[in-house]
Amino acid sequence: MRWFIIPYIDSISEKFKTKVTKDLNSNLSFFNLNKLQCVIKAHKDPLPASSKKNIIYKISCNDCDATYERVDQTCRQLKTRISEHKNHIRRCTSVL
């Protein structure tokens, strides 16, 4: 015995099942076109730039023309790397 799956359309599908397929040696099944995922979308909130990973960044000094560019990608969050840079600068300048 064969199975056929067609979309369910109110008032048409039942008539189709009784009139068209009654002489065929087959079963008919329906599926709904209106799925919940078409109505409800689960989107994530975008991450702030400081929380992103795998980024390329450039830090400019406020006091001079020096810049630090990270050309390869960091696997840690940007805010973590900036904090590490600030700590490194504090350590280096406090020693001098």
Residue 44 lies in a domain: no
- Kindly state the average pLDDT of the residues 31-35: 83
Q: Is residue 13 part of a domain?
A: yes
Note down the domain range covering 7.
2-34
Instruction: State mean pLDDT over 21-44.
Output: 78
What are the C-alpha distances in Å from 87 to residues 62, 70, 84, 91?
A: 16, 17, 5, 6
Mean pLDDT (whole number) for 26-47:
79
pLDDT one-digit tens code per residue, 57-94: 777 777 777 776 766 566 777 788 778 877 877 787 65
In a domain, 39, yes or no: no
pTM, entire model? 0.39
Radius of gyration of the chain (CA): 31
The structural domain count of the chain equals 2
pLDDT in tens, 12-28: 888 877 777 777 777 88
**Same domain membership, residue 6 and residue 30:** yes
Looking at the domain assignment, is residue 14 inside a domain?
A: yes
> What confidence score (pLDDT) does residue 96 get?
47
